[in-house]
Amino acid sequence: MSILSGKNVLLGISAGIAAYKTASLVRLFVKAGADVKVVMSPASIGFVTPLTLSTLSKNPVVSSFYNEEDESAVWNSHVELGLWADLLIIAPATANTMSKMANGTCDNLLLATYLSAKCPVYFAPAMDLDMFKHPSTSQSFKTLQSFGNIMIPATSGELASGLVGEGRMAEPEDIVAFIENHILGNLPLYGKKVMITAGPTYEAIDPVRFIGNHSSGKMGFELAKTAANLGAEVTLISGPTNQSLQHGLVKIVPVVSAQDMYNQAHLFFKDSDVVICAAAVADYKPKEVATQKIKKDDSTLTLKLEKTKDVLASLGAIKTNQFLVGFALETNNELEHAKGKLKRKNLDLIVLNSLNDKGAGFKADTNKITLIDTEEHITEFNLKSKAVVAQDIFNEILNQLHA
């Protein structure tokens, strides 16, 4: 899944021959998972039809402040469009449109939307060679970038005039890649590798029965999604769960038993920068596993259990530069037990849950946590959705990493 997934992308189209490429550009944004709307300059309609773009984007295309054919229609608000957008991409950006953008000229809906936008603005120049090299165009480039706008460089090639040189708008695939890389490069965990364990483990009794727990994996999956959205390359080692996550930066490694999770965690640990063990790993497993289904012949069944390998403690014992985070689910003397686990397992941060807190723990969509660091600083949080809890945890991790 692209970093653009779930984002509101507003594509602004000005009147250049390169506008024909915007049909492909819209399709690529939609394929990346973005919600796409299109605003066109009035003259650009002569280069690509609104019908094509509205069909591909699945949203109405606008090019004027109001519908001249329907006086009762609601006007197209540039303010609402500017506030809706997470990203504004102007492609093609002609010399005329860029000059107006640089000088604050506001004579159509596209320019009014640009002036109202609160989001990052990207622009992809497109024009003929001589126009591209004109000093006024160079000044527009400098002015727009000084405003904080991001220029997607034009390429060299055959132009509509037949000349060969600079001024060709970047290809749609390159525009999307440029934006994705730019976003990722500005994210705080870009270039970092994060390993997260999630869900329960199942310890076999026989071929059809197992010892398990009520962990749903929701917290671990929310942590993985948050880490990826912060730019990290994420390895999510998950026990059996109904949770799902599709993200281009998340690799899911399915496991079943505590031994499986131990093996996979040690496989990825060395190359990880941040490790969060959120899985509910079984503490015990049957000493012997029956090869055939155990028949219900007796009124009682006795199982001999033995300890599983402690995944978190084993990682703490070999930790070098990794920032290691553990979870503690407690029912009594919560703070004391969590502090002890923090020191005993050589952690950098521990996330305390209490089953005494309503809405916290297994299966719920919410969680109530307390964070404790190596200096025993305690930060308590109110009951929140697990998605927001994941953000709180990563905010603390980032604060610690940058301290």
- Mean pLDDT for 121-125 is 97
Q: Is the CB of residue 280 less than 8 Å from the CB of residue 198?
A: no
Question: Considering only 49-58, 145-154, 355-364, which range has the smallest mean pLDDT?
Answer: 355-364
Catalytic residue numbers, as ranges: 213
Q: Reply yes or no on whether the pLDDT at 70 is more than 70.
A: no
Burial category of 215 from C-beta neighbours within 10 Å (exposed 0-12, middle 13-18, buried 19 and up): buried
- Average pLDDT over the chain, rounded to an integer: 93
Q: Reply yes or no on whether the pLDDT at 71 is more than 70.
A: no
pLDDT at position 83 is: 93
Q: Reply yes or no on whether the pLDDT at 356 is more than 80.
A: no
11-38 pLDDT per residue, tens = 999 999 999 999 999 999 999 999 999 9
Instruction: Write down all domains in the chain, each with its CATH number in brackets.
Output: 8-185 (3.40.50.1950), 193-293+302-401 (3.40.50.10300)
pLDDT at position 334 is: 87
Single-letter code of the amino acid located at 15: A
pLDDT at position 35 is: 97
199-235 pLDDT per residue, tens = 999 999 999 999 999 899 999 999 999 999 999 999 9
Q: How far is CA 16 from the centre of its chain?
A: 33
Q: Reply yes or no on whether the pLDDT at 69 is more than 70.
A: no
Burial category of 146 from C-beta neighbours within 10 Å (exposed 0-12, middle 13-18, buried 19 and up): exposed
pLDDT at position 189 is: 96
Single-letter code of the amino acid located at 114: Y
pLDDT at position 268 is: 98
188-202 pLDDT per residue, tens = 999 999 999 999 999
